[in-house]
Structure 1
């Protein structure tokens, strides 16, 4: 079992392994020695200044064990200096959140003695990862033992070794006792309470904690929709056209919850010290390729790729590919309508129980096809976005998110828009929405809950067989070597992209068409509750521990949800305009109805825009704290500049005095 990480010191506290670095089993010895020396060398010598130990010194325990597995940690002082370099925010004695500095370390709330326990294990691992990523080539022209693995001054060593397959993986280790406590409070006991977001943030970092915070917030925000939807559905079962009030409630709901979430996330981000933290300078992503040149910003040599070529790839290849995929999705949708028409004709000709069941089959098949198409398109979008050769990871993610969102939105909602506004069949719209929502949730639960549970049980049985082969009684605590083996075989967590995408689609189902099928909110609430437990289980027992990633909000997904809410305003206004109750006010002029509907829709969009500016994203009391902190920083900077100016002026004045006295 791992010890709690000590935030620095080779002062008798012993080596605490934080991160595992696994190289290929057949990696050249000179490359292995060179990398480990780089990790352990001092910063002045171009190294990371970290501690590194080989997991199996000499011979591995079994023939299948990779001998090139290393444990990386850091002294207490090294981790503290790394926290200062990264600008980690910690709580000050006055309760405010400030960037940590070694000079003021005694003024931080939880800093005691030499700082043992001041940094969480997730923060220590994040610092180690940053230092490993910061390892740069100096005069080396290639990786030792690999002539074709070229290097140049300033090139990231870790990323080059990963791209060439020399470095297999780098991952942080779990802390078993803390993970047990988190598992118990998170998902092992059934409770009607909030998630332990502070504990999740402490163990996994702000990025993952904000996802679970948004999942929890979205679930509670759906409760009013569910409470209104259940009686509306029960007492208005046969009247498919009486949805005006529910659509109006939908308009207000989708606008208010997103504005309230921004304030809630800002409060959490301030408490966690990421709201006012400066964004780190982005380095080129590992897959970026180009001709070696001089970066005008950093002055370092690195690959350069003309933006014109990238834009040509985007607009001449990626955009046509996305349009082709949308056309294919449209073709599949038309096939679905043909199947639906055939099933309905059979039912109308001879209505029986089986023909009634048959009317639902096309919708179920179409829902499954949608999920398969989304999955295939996701892989194609990842390949295409990588081929576009974006320099920064943020640019890569933005282009990938845009491609995936456009296709998923069209693929999942095109049929519903067609039924609602072309066929204008509210009965069929309710049936299609219910089938799509239920089928997609069943598929997601199988993939996200049952499959991970089966994988975890299979992995545990594999570890038990290994223990029996060694013919030794299982210890009370898992040995470090076994823990590394277990975690190395775990799946790698690929980030929150798919999780946010699922919530985005569920938000669309609820905000766009739930006025026709009011039980949509109830189904999504049930899905989200199970999602919390399945995601928590996966994070604790299925995936490797991901590195902590500081985050102040949910990023580009906030814009995606806001765009969906704008579309929801247009959709619900159109549905209201199509309702018989509203049409009865315009019996003679359909044009007048359309004009009034468009005017109200534009007015609501304007009101939505006004609310976005009127309601501050950050609560007033947090704005005041941030302004006070900025004022204190400016005052401290002025005093420092004034002190330095006085020091610089003293020698000059003394020289003048001496020269004046000699002249006299």
Structure 2
């Protein structure tokens, strides 16, 4: 058997053999009664509290000598089960009239791609998302603990999968790659060079939860082209004149505002086309790591851990906040050491200007750039530990607090020295040198971590795989058996999400929008970095990482606010740089206060224009607004019809008992 392409038959419910979509691995010493209980709950009917899915144990690999974990299970589902799951989740699919509507089984024949019994209607990513949802909502009934594992406590309503993960009984659960579909995606994504960079439609079919990130990466890459085209001649013609940056700074102000507003419209278009713009998320469950005193959720009425919000706020403001401030102070101290090293190198060069002392001028900036990357990495682990310790109930709340901690520190750590050079030292030569060194060094380090290292790991994994399967495949047999395919994917690295990818783009956007008027080649370097990022990310997603579960999103979430905040800071920064330029100072030769007042006034005016544009330019294009309004109107009309049906008068039946002497047996 082999894993099928994305649109082949999902399974045959009448057969014991089915198409595996998800793999589930338990620890090797899991008790037999726990395995039997779990499989029974997965297979059981929904009305009995089961998931009603198909599951079978993976057979051991052939011809492999090393010890294998026997507790690997393959999970699939019948086609009807998947269609009902799609309705429960409110998946949006294209209707016959071209609009995107929530799928319903009663109306299934009116959807565009639904033919016959619906075989191929759902993509494999959607099927895997449905299966994951059904497994995540598998809940304990009257069990007090997982059978055979008394340490894994259960209570009515507790998610079984989350408990197995938190107690280390379940090693992992991951969706399986579809080999033929993966081959086609690999060829069109990073093996073929083309103008559009990425096949976003195919990416969305395979990596639905990450598709918007790749869409934003491509959009940001193309948005850098006008900056790069203007920056190259600007840099070449004004190489020795560091003060002629006013025009480029003005362009910077317009660019960083316009591209973010246009991205929101492009993002809404993509989300509508992919059916995620109007999709309502199911009620968010507690995080696996969340703990507290057992109680009842006031919304759902389910029994689950409860944790006082006041206690969480005390941890946030009395521990996490002081820690972040302490880290910012440490970063400031490191920055002061950097400036001391910079002054020492400059003094050596002034005393004896030679080639080597000229090279020495760049050494402090290179060391500082490396130290910044190391500090960011160390702080990231500390921020994750603190956010976990704060014990947030929801995954979204956890992510928001983590992102805020990491963004504040990374922004200060990466840009504080540049602000100091620009507005305290007012040394444009040093600012250009420092920005170039920081940008180039960080990109070299990132490319090593994201391109070379994954490629090296993949080469090692390929050699290991070839050694494992040499004895079990002939020269004529080119396909890898499914047993080895699944075990190979189980050993692959786990994709940790788009957090680090968005963070990298956020910092690059900051380098371009804040100070690229002083170093116009910044946009060119970031453009080249993004093109490399496209191919390195594609390689990692296809060859290095396990396939991640879909997590459909209608936008890039809190990162949109982060980029917009950076654009506001960019307006203030570029206005200040314009006010400091000799060309503008020449108009105010006698009064620095007047110059400051004019600069602040213009900056406030530009911010006002920016916010006015934000309100005037709709986030959702007009055609999509009309489609959404039509769907809402149709939903209201359908609801009115149902209400009228319920409220229509029902004939009343009056019963009476008549004497049998009348010869009447009926009741009127």
Normalised by the shorter chain, which TM-score bucket?
A: over 0.9
Given that residues 63 and 471 in structure 2 are in contact (C-alpha distance below 8 angstroms), is that contact kept between their aligned partners in structure 1? no
Tell me the CA shift for residue 192 of structure 1.
Answer: 2.5
Q: Does 1:134 align with 2:137?
A: yes
Render the CA deviation track for 1:163-218: whole Å, top value 9, x for unaligned: 1110000000000000000111111012233411011001111x311111100100
**1:21 Cα deviation (Å)?**
0.2
Deviation of the 1:111 alpha carbon: 0.6
The yes-or-no answer on 1:28 pairing with 2:31 is yes
2:149 to 146, 149, 165: 146
Q: Any conservation in 2 of the 1:8–1:116 contact (CA below 8 Å)?
A: no
Equivalent residue runs for 1:541-556 within 5 Å: 541-556=543-558
Q: Give deviations 1:113-171, integer Å, cap 9, x for gaps.
A: 11110000000000000001011011000011111211111111111111111000000
Distance in 1 of aligned mates of 2:645 and 2:65: 64
Structure 1 pair 354–276 and aligned structure 2 pair: CA distance change class (3 A): same
Partner of 2:274: 272
Residue 161 in 1 paired to residue 164 in 2?
yes
State the SS of the aligned residue for 1:449: helix
Distance 2:16 2:211 in 1: 31
Preserved contact between residue 114 and residue 121 of structure 2 (Cα < 8 Å)? yes
For the aligned residue pairs, the C-alpha RMSD in angstroms reads 1.9
Query: Which SS does the other structure have where 1:188 is aligned?
Result: coil
In the alignment, what sits opposite 1:110? Answer: 113
What CA distance in whole angstroms lies between the structure 1 residues aligned with 2:196 and 2:176? Answer: 29
TM-score computed with the length of structure 1 as normaliser: 0.97
Which residue, out of 636, 639, 643, partners 1:637? Answer: 639
The equivalent residue for 1:197 is 200
Aligned partner of 2:4 in structure 1 is: 3
User: Given the superposition, is the C-alpha separation of residues 60 and 87 from structure 1 closer, same or farther in structure 2, using an over 3 Å criterion?
Assistant: farther
The correspondence of residues 389-404 of structure 1 with structure 2, limited to 5 A, is 389-404=391-406
SS in 2 for 1:485: helix
User: Which position in structure 1 is the counterpart of 2:662?
Assistant: none
Inter-CA distance 419–58: structure 2 relative to 1 (3 Å threshold): closer
Aligned residue runs from structure 1 range 96-495, under 5 A: 96-205=99-208, 207-470=209-472, 473=475, 475-495=477-497
Q: What is residue 564 of structure 2 aligned with on the other side?
A: 562
Q: Quick check: 33-42 or 381-390, which moved more?
A: 33-42
Q: Deviations over 1:236-295 (max 9, x none)?
A: 011101111100000000000000000000011111111111122101000001000111
Shift of 1:424: 0.3
Q: Does 1:53 align with 2:83?
A: no
Contact 2:12 2:18 in 1 (8 A): no
Q: Distance in 2 between matches of 1:658 and 1:416?
A: 96
TM-aligned CA distance change 1:344 to 1:584, over 3 Å: same
Q: Deviations over 1:342-393 (max 9, x none)?
A: 1111111001111111100010010000001101110110010000000000
Take 2:656 and 2:49, find their aligned partners in 1: how far apart are those partners? Answer: 47
Paired with 1:438 and 1:314, the residues of 2 have a C-alpha distance of 36
1:241 alignment partner, SS class: coil
* Partner residue in 2 for 1:93: 96
> For the residues of structure 2 that align with 1:267 and 1:396, how far apart are their CA atoms?
28
1:71 equivalent to 2:109? Answer no
> Mean Cα displacement is larger for which, 1-10 or 256-265?
1-10
Mapped contact 1:8–1:78 kept (Cα < 8 A): no
Q: Is the 8 A contact 2:655 2:667 kept in 1?
A: no
Contact 1:247 1:576 in 2 (8 A): yes
Residue 442 of structure 1: CA displacement?
0.4
Cα distance between partner residues in 1 of 2:63 and 2:283:
40
CA distance in 1, matches of 2:28, 2:453: 30
1:516 to 486, 494, 518: 518
**CA contact 1:7–1:80 (8 Å) conserved in 2:** no
Question: What is the alpha-carbon distance in structure 2 between the residues aligned to residue 10 and residue 600 of structure 1?
Answer: 69
TM-score scaled to structure 2, two decimals?
A: 0.96
Relative distance call for 1:111 and 1:356 in structure 2 (3 A) is same
Per-residue deviation, 1:29: 1.1
Q: Distance in 2 between matches of 1:78 and 1:406?
A: 46
Farther off after superposition, 124-133 or 461-470: 461-470
Cα offset for 1:658? 13
The number of equivalent residue pairs is: 659
Match of 1:575 in 2: 577
* Secondary structure, aligned partner of 1:230: helix
Could you tell me how far 1:639 is from its partner in structure 2?
Answer: 1.3
Equivalent residue for 2:650?
Answer: 650
Asked if the contact 1:140/1:152 (under 8 Å) is kept, the reply is yes
Counterpart selection for 1:605 from 601, 604, 607: 607
| Deviation for aligned residue 1:428 | 0.1
Distance 2:217 2:580 in 1: 33
Q: 1:641 deviation in Å?
A: 2.0
In the TM superposition, what whole-angstrom CA distance separates every residue of 1:441-498 from its partner, at most 9, and x where no partner exists?
0000000001000101100000111123557557221100110111011100000000
Distance 1:292 1:280 in 2: 23
Distance 2:9 2:158 in 1: 31
The structural deviation recorded for 1:91 is 0.5
2 CA distance for matches of 1:32 and 1:595? 73
The 10-residue stretch of structure 1 (623-632 or 636-645) with the greater mean CA deviation from structure 2: 636-645
CA distance in 2, matches of 1:180, 1:370: 39
2:663 aligns to what?
none
Instruction: Give, in angstroms, the shift of residue 9 of structure 1.
Output: 4.7
Which segments of 5 or more consecutive residues in structure 2 lack a partner in the other structure?
Answer: 659-665
In 2, the alpha carbon distance for the partners of 1:483 and 1:468 equals 14
Unaligned runs of 5+ in 1: none
Mapped contact 1:284–1:392 kept (Cα < 8 A):
yes
Deviation per residue, 1:613-663 (Å, 9 max, x gap): 0100000111001000100111111112222333xx3332x559999xx99
- C-alpha separation between the residues in 2 aligned to 1:76 and 1:46? 20
